[in-house]
Structure 1
Amino acid sequence: MPITLIDSTDVVEKVQVLNFATFHIHMGATSDATSVDFDENDKKNQNDAKKIAQLISEFKPTIICVEVPWGKNEELDQEYKAYLTNPSKVSTYYGEVGMVAFEVGRLSNLESIYGIDHKMGYNYNIGQEIENTIDSTTYNNYYKNPFAFHSEINVNHDELSLLEKLKLYNNPKFLDFLINVNADMLAFAGSENGFEGADEAAKYYQRNLRIYSNLNRIPMTIKDRVFILSGGSHTAFLGEFMGRSPKYELVDVMDYL
């Protein structure tokens, strides 16, 4: 059967998306497998966050999505409007949301911001809590020092500026690492007849697919430009999903850093 070629002039226009990875900007531990300390009350950090927002605003987004649960959009809207009323007062709402996304929204003259997160628990420490009979050697060696297996991104985070950290977090190799360390490595953990690690990883895939579904709930047209700010592992998964999508076209984050 002959193959029918599609006319190359039939190019489908897609919605432009700036899918931006960050770490969670607040002091103390998070539930993430990887985390970075960042003092949100430090004046220099606040100024650096505003500079990042100015760079991102050059994308000229018409829609902004953040890692806030979909069910909290009313609260998010109230916090954002309070910031618009008094932008000189730094907002630390959800850390990077208040410090970066709110300022991008203000600079872009947007009236609202969307939360697309969907909370789901999963246990990425499962391999340490069971008798792992699948491949405990690979699993244990990896988690002793994950960065040792990823030489291209094995750097001292403490020596990096905020801008340099964000460039690292948006490096495709770092995004691949985040999927591996948060999910895929769990497939090496499980009992003799069980799939405990893989099942936990599936929960994380499920959470990110639900975040993607929330993104797809937002009304938009081909003329919209979407900026998504989320923790790096969510950015990594969303990038995978949107990279195959008939609707979205990812733009290069480095063009704005």
Structure 2
Amino acid sequence: MFKYLSGFFLFLVTSLNVTAQPVASPKIKVLLLGSIHFTPSTQDVYKNKTVDVQDEKRQVQIKQMLTQLSRFSPNQICIEVPTQNQSKVDSQYHRYLNGQYKLGTHEVDQIAYPLAKQLGLPTLTCINYKGAFDPDPVNEYAKANNQEDIIASLEKFASSTIAGVVAVQQKQSISELYRFINSNDELTKNAAIYSDYLVRIGQGDKYPGTDLVAGWYNTNLHIYTNILRAIHPGDKAIMVLFGYGHIPILKHLFESNPKFEVVDVNDVLKE
């Protein structure tokens, strides 16, 4: 009898140990929506064409994409605005909700604000970080050290890449454009500017290209940290609307974090 009792207690203890194991929290879904700038920045070396958001056809396309994005139902929408401008965005968004702010032509105004309103979100989350990125010393080094061929190859590659984006922009809908620029092929091309070309500029103990790329990674690590800091308890999904040149690094960081699940843009912007 004692043999059976000891076996029963062993089973009971084992069962208690199993049931006492902590239950893993569901992963937070992250939609990294890489974007072109509807009004190209003067700081960008390689630019797409301006998106005429006043065009009636474009407005219909934007609204169609907003409907697709709303199905993802994010708890937060993170935008490419410096964190120190949060109070300004809070005020502007509040005025927009009250019909006192006319949307501008920027992609944040055209996509993030209307989507946040549609979802009933109280505000948008500013996550941008302005890091240092000055390519001039790299170009000067290349010219002075017979590495101008790398710069020429980079110019040819980048020009061809942006020409492909412009071709899709001019012929396809807004959703199709966003599916294109967020495809693995296009994100890899964008990342190659840093990983294949810029890092090769330098010789011996000189690493001007690598140092420039390190600064780019540093900027994106800060942006990633700002997103992590913004996560609220109970958040199940967040959307990040950001220049698509940042997406390859941000995607790698989130895929390396077991608390998050990166959602494919094509799965959200499907017809």
Q: TM-score, normalised by structure 1?
A: 0.83
**Does the alignment pair 1:84 with 2:97?**
yes
- Contact 1:136–1:188 (CA<8 Å) still a contact in 2? no
Deviations 1:217-252 (A, max 9, x none): 113235421011011012222111101112211112
Q: Unaligned regions of 5+ residues in structure 1, if any?
A: 1-6
1:11-22 residue pairs with structure 2 within 5 A?
A: 13-22=26-35
Distance 2:235 2:155 in 1: 44
Deviation at 1:256, TM superposition (A): 1.7
How many residues align structurally?
A: 245
Moved more, 115-124 or 125-134: 125-134
Counterpart pick for 1:130 among 120, 141, 144: 141
State the match for 2:59 in structure 1. 46
Distance 1:130 1:55 in 2: 47
State the identity as a percent.
25
Report the 3-state secondary structure (helix = DSSP H, G, I; strand = E; otherwise coil) of the residue aligned with 1:233. coil
Report the 3-state secondary structure (helix = DSSP H, G, I; strand = E; otherwise coil) of the residue aligned with 1:204. helix
Distance 1:74 1:171 in 2: 34
Report the 3-state secondary structure (helix = DSSP H, G, I; strand = E; otherwise coil) of the residue aligned with 1:230. strand
In terms of fraction of residues, the more helix-rich structure is: 2
Deviation at 1:84, TM superposition (A): 1.4
Counterpart pick for 2:109 among 98, 108, 124: 98
State the match for 2:77 in structure 1. 64
Deviations 1:56-91 (A, max 9, x none): 11101111100000010001111111221229x651
Distance 1:43 1:125 in 2: 41
Q: Which has the larger radius of gyration?
A: 2
Counterpart pick for 2:119 among 108, 129, 132: 108
Deviations 1:110-168 (A, max 9, x none): 01110100012312454432235485434422322336589xx6882333332221111
Q: Unaligned regions of 5+ residues in structure 2, if any?
A: 1-17
Distance 2:38 2:150 in 1: 32
Q: Note closer, same or farther for the CA distance 1:58–1:32 as it changes in structure 2 (3 Å cut).
A: same
Distance 1:253 1:48 in 2: 17
Report the 3-state secondary structure (helix = DSSP H, G, I; strand = E; otherwise coil) of the residue aligned with 1:130. helix
- Contact 1:17–1:226 (CA<8 Å) still a contact in 2? yes
Deviations 1:34-71 (A, max 9, x none): 32222344343333223222211110111110000001
State the match for 1:196 in structure 2. 208
State the match for 1:177 in structure 2. 189
Deviations 1:5-37 (A, max 9, x none): xx9x976531111111110111x5432343222
Report the 3-state secondary structure (helix = DSSP H, G, I; strand = E; otherwise coil) of the residue aligned with 2:65. helix
Deviation at 1:194, TM superposition (A): 1.7
- Contact 1:39–1:45 (CA<8 Å) still a contact in 2? yes
State the match for 2:3 in structure 1. none
Q: Note closer, same or farther for the CA distance 1:204–1:54 as it changes in structure 2 (3 Å cut).
A: same
- Contact 1:92–1:98 (CA<8 Å) still a contact in 2? yes
- Contact 1:77–1:112 (CA<8 Å) still a contact in 2? yes
Q: Note closer, same or farther for the CA distance 1:160–1:81 as it changes in structure 2 (3 Å cut).
A: same
Deviation at 1:190, TM superposition (A): 2.5
Distance 2:161 2:80 in 1: 29
* Letter paired with 2:223: I
Where in structure 1 do 4 or more consecutive aligned residues deviate above 4 Å?
9-12, 147-150
Q: Note closer, same or farther for the CA distance 1:119–1:102 as it changes in structure 2 (3 Å cut).
A: same
Report the 3-state secondary structure (helix = DSSP H, G, I; strand = E; otherwise coil) of the residue aligned with 1:19. strand
Q: TM-score, normalised by structure 2?
A: 0.79
Deviation at 1:188, TM superposition (A): 1.3
Q: Note closer, same or farther for the CA distance 1:164–1:149 as it changes in structure 2 (3 Å cut).
A: closer
Report the 3-state secondary structure (helix = DSSP H, G, I; strand = E; otherwise coil) of the residue aligned with 2:142. coil
- Contact 2:161–2:189 (CA<8 Å) still a contact in 1? no
Q: Note closer, same or farther for the CA distance 1:67–1:182 as it changes in structure 2 (3 Å cut).
A: farther
- Contact 2:77–2:239 (CA<8 Å) still a contact in 1? yes
Root mean square deviation of aligned Cα: 2.9
